[in-house]
Structure 1
Amino acid sequence: FNLIVMNCALSGELCEDPVVSQKSGHIFERRLIEKHIKETGKCPITNEDIVIEDLIPIKDVAQPVRPRPASATSLASLLKLFQNEWDSIMLETYTLKQSLDTARQELSHALYQHDAASRVIARLIKERDEARQALADTAANMQKALAGAGDAMEIDTKETESGINAIIINEMQLHAKKLSKARKKRTKVAHPNLPSVETIGTYDCVTSHPLHLASEPGILCLDLHPVDQNRVVTGGVDSTVIIFNRQTKKIEQTLKQHKKKISSVVFHPTQDVILSASYDNTTLVWASDGDKFSVVRTSTAHTAAVTCVSLHATGDYFVTSSLDATWAFHDIETGVCRQKISSPEIDAGFTRIQFHPDGLIAGTGGMDSVVRIWDVKNQTNVANFEGHDGGVSALSFSENGYYLATSDIQGVVKLWDLRKLNNFRTINPEDSEKPSPVQALQFDYSGTYLAVGGSGVSVYNTKTWDQVKFFDDHRKDVTGVRFGADAKFIVSSSLDRTVKFYGSEE
C-alpha cells in the first residue's frame, strides 16, 4: 500500500497531502479541494454538495518523487542546463555593471553641477555682503558729514561726532534717579524666590548643547535674554552669532556678517535687537522683522579689534571698547558714534567695558592690568584700580551699584568697593601653577551670588565669600556665564563649543 502513488482527481498531479471524499471516494490534493469547496461548496467530480468535514486524510503514504524534466536526464543535458544558467547570470551581471556605470556618470554630473552652483552662491553672497557693507559705510559717512559739517569738521577726532549733549545727559540722569528710587524700595523687600546656598549646592548640569562650527571650535561670549529666559545668544571663533532656544533645544538663527571671531554679544531687554562686537573692527546692530534678524546698523568707529559692547540702562545707547586704546559711545537708533574717547596717558588697548547699573559711569579693563572708572557725562577718568598682574579679562557690577568684580588672565578675581574705592577681597586661582584665565563674571540680580568662569564655573556666596558650588563639566576654559531669573538656573559657554545649563533636576 505504501508503494501506491496517488494522483489528484482535480489537477491530475501527484498528491503531496492526499485526502479522500467520503461521498464520492475520489482522491484530491488537500489545498486544492479545500479551496474549491470554499468557493463552490460542491464536489468537482460529481457536483454533489460537500463540506471540508467530508474529507478524510490518507496516512502513511509514500512521499511522491517527481520525475526529472526531460532536459536533465543525461550528462549532456545537465551540462547544457548549467551553461544556460551561467550565460543568464553573466548577462545579468553585465546589465548590472552597465547600470552601475550609468549611475556613476549621473552622480558625477550631479556633483559637478552642485559644486558649480555652490561657487556661484558663495560669490553672490560675498558680493551681497560687500554691497551691504559699502551701503552701511556710506550711510555712516553721510551722517558723520552732516553732524560735523562746518569749520570744525575733522576726521577721527571728538569734533567729528555729535557728542554726548545736554539732552542725552539729562535723559541718563533722569533714568538713573528712577532706577535708584526703585532700587531703594526693592532693598526693603527680601527675595523669597531666591534659592538658598544649600539649594545652589545641589545644582547639576541638566543639558548641554554643542554650537558653532566643529572645524573652528570655540564659543567666546554669551548672553541670556533678560525677559525671555529661554533665549541665549552666543558668539564664536567661527565669526558667527547664534540664537539658541533653551526650551525647544534648537538653534533659532545663525547670523553671518562678521569677518572675524566674535568678542561680545548683548540682548536688548525690550526690543528684538542684538548687539555684536568682533575682531573685524566692527560692531553690528541686528534687528528682527518678526521672523529673522538682519543687520540694521554698522559701527566702524574703531581702527582695531572691538573687544566688548555694553548696553545702557535706557536701551538707547551702547558703548564699545577696542584694542586701539579707545572706547566709544553710540546711539543705537542711528548707529552713529557720538563720542570716541582716548587719552594720551593710555596706550594699551581696552579689553572690557561695562556700564554701571545706573548708567552714569562705566568701567573699563585694559591690557595694562588697570581697571578704570569713567564719568560718562564728561568722559573723564575718575578712578583707577590697580593690582592685577595680567590683562583684565572680565568685569561685572553688582546690581545695587556698590561693588565691582574684575578678573585677569592669571585667574585672579578682585572685588572693589566703589564707595571706598578699595579692594576688599581677592580670590586666587586654586591651581596657581597652571591658572586658567577668568573670562566671565556675573553677580545675580539680588547680589547674593557671584559666578566666576575659569577652568569651570564657580559660584560664591557674597556674604561669606565661600565657594558654594563648582561645575567642572566643560572640557576647556569657560568664556561666558549668566544667572537665570532668581538664580533658578545658570548658563555657561566654553571654548569646547558647548552651552551648558545648570540647575535642579525637574
Structure 2
Amino acid sequence: MDTTAVLFDRQSGQILSTLTGHSKKVTSIKFVGDTDLVLTASSDKTVRIWGSSEGGNYACKHTLKDHTAEVRAVTVHATNKYFVSASLDSTWCFYDMSSGLCLAQVTDDSEKVDYTAAAFHPDGLILGTGTAQSIVKIWDVKSQANVAKFGGHTGEITSVSFSENGYFLATSALDGVRLWDLRKLKNFRTFDFPNANSVEFDHSGSYLGIAASDIRVFQTASVKAEWNPVKTLPDLSGTGRATCVKFGPDAKYVAVGSMDRNLRIFGLPSNDSTEDSAQDS
C-alpha cells in the first residue's frame, strides 16, 4: 500500500496534487464538504489535515498524534466543523476541524475492541463504528455513550454507511454485507458477498454500492421490500478485489479503487457505457 494520497481532476484525469508525509500506508481519505480541506489516516498512527496552497497543491496543516496504533478510518460531521478518527488502539477521537484539537478520546471500558471503520449518521447526533472483533457499535456523539451494539458478522468490519434518511445502516465484513433497521435495531437483510471491502449509500439514499470481488449497485427499498440489483460492474484490475466504492453527485458515476492501485470511474446507471478512467494511485 502507498504512503501517499493522490487527488485527481475527474474530467481530465490529471493529478491535481500528491499528499506526501505519512510514513506508512494511507488507510482512509475524506474530503471535507465543499471546503478545500482533506483528511487522511494512516498506519503510522497519525491523522493529517490538508488544505490547498499556492499553485493548486495541498499542504499539511495539522498532524494529529493522539492515537497509539494504526488509524483505520476518518469520518466528517455534517457541519464540517468536526471529525472522528477510529484506531486499532481501541479508541476513537472527536476532533475540532479548524484547530485539529482532540476534544474527546473515547474507549469502551466494558470490552476491548479495535476500531476498523467509522461513519457519522446524517443528523450528526450518532456515530457508527466497526471493529476487528466483528461488532458494530452505535454511539451518542454528545455523551460519547455506546447506545447500541450489533453482532452477527464473521471477521473484521471493513466499512459502515448510513442511508441519507437515517433509517438504515449498511455494514461490510469478510463474510458479506448486512443491512440494519435503526428504528428496531435489527438486521433485516444480508448479502452474501465474501470479502466485502466497502459499502456506501449515495447522497440521495437511492442506491447502495458494494465493493467485493466485483462491484454491485442496488436500488434501496424498505425493510420488507426487495433491494434489487441495478448494476454489476466488473473488477477490471484483474485482482478480484475492489477495495472501495464511492458515488459521485446525483449517483451519475461510481468511483472504484482496486488492489492494482488504480482508480476507475464507471457511468451509472443511465449511461451503459463504462468509462474506465484508470489512474495510478
Alignment of 1:476-495 (within 5 A): 476=239, 477-495=241-259
1:314 equivalenced with 2:76 (yes/no): no
1:126-145 → structure 2 map (5 Å cutoff): none
AA partner of residue 262 (structure 2): T
3-state SS in 1 of match to 2:5: strand
> Is contact 2:18-2:58 (8 Å) kept?
no
Check the 8 A contact 2:25/2:42 in 1, yes or no. yes
For 1:486 and 1:337, the matched residues in 2 are separated by: 34
Is it true that 1:258 corresponds to 2:22 in the alignment?
yes
Q: What letter corresponds to residue 217 of structure 2 in structure 1?
A: V
Question: If each structure's strand is expressed as a fraction of its own residues, which one has the higher value?
Answer: 2
Aligned counterparts, 1:276-287, within 5 A: 276-287=40-51
Question: What does 1:413-432 align with in structure 2 at a 5 Å threshold?
Answer: 413-429=177-193
Higher-Rg structure is 1
Aligned to 2:229: 467
Rounded to whole Å, the distance in 2 between the matches of 1:343 and 1:268 is 27
The match for 1:375 is 140
Higher relative contact order (CA 8 A, sep 6+): 1
- Give the Å deviation of 1:395: 0.8
Residue 240 of structure 1 corresponds to 4
| 1:88 match | none
Aligned partners of 1:482 and 1:491 also within 8 Å? yes
CA displacement, residues 104-148 of structure 1 (integer Å, 9 cap, x when unaligned): xxxxxxxxxxxxxxxxxxxxxxxxxxxxxxxxxxxxxxxxxxxxx
Confirm or deny: 8 A CA contact 1:325 1:346 kept in the other structure. Answer: no
Do residues 302 (structure 1) and 67 (structure 2) align? yes
- What code does the residue aligned with 2:238 have? R
Instruction: State the distance in 2 between where 1:245 and 1:443 align.
Output: 23
**In 2, Cα distance between equivalents of 1:344 and 1:377:** 18
> Secondary structure of the residue that 1:303 maps to in structure 2?
coil
User: Deviation per CA, 1:385-431, whole angstroms, max 9, x where unpaired?
Assistant: 11101111111000111100001122x100001111111111112xx
Can you give the 5+ residue segments of structure 2 that lack an aligned partner in the other structure?
Answer: 276-281
How much does 1:253 deviate? 1.2
Deviation at 1:348, TM superposition (A): 2.2
Superposed, 1:113-192 pairs within 5 Å as: none
Distance in 2 between residues matched to 1:495 and 1:329, nearest whole Å = 30
2-side partners of 1:446 and 1:321: how far apart? 26
Question: CA shift at 1:344, angstroms?
Answer: 2.1
Runs of 4+ in 1 over 2 A off after TM superposition: none
Indicate the SS of the match to 1:280: coil
Give the letter aligned to residue 213 of structure 2. Answer: S
SS at the partner of 2:133? coil
Instruction: Identify the residue that residue 38 of structure 1 maps to in structure 2.
Output: none
* From 202, 205, 209, the counterpart of 1:444: 202
Shift of 1:289: 2.2
The number of residue pairs the alignment matches comes to 263
Alpha-carbon separation, structure 2, partners of 1:499 and 1:251: 12
1:466 CA displacement: 2.1
Which amino acid is 2:119 matched to?
Q
Aligned to 2:279: none
Identity of aligned residues (%): 44
1:57-136 equivalences in 2 (<5 Å)? none
Aligned-residue offset at 1:493: 0.6
Tell me, which stretches of 5 or more residues in structure 1 are unaligned?
A: 1-236, 430-434
CA displacement at 1:469 relative to structure 2: 1.6
CA apart distance, 1:462: 1.7
Mapped contact 2:214–2:233 kept (Cα < 8 A): yes
> How many angstroms apart in 2 are the aligned matches of 1:314 and 1:446?
18
Output the amino acid matched with 1:326: T
Letter in 2 for 1:465: W
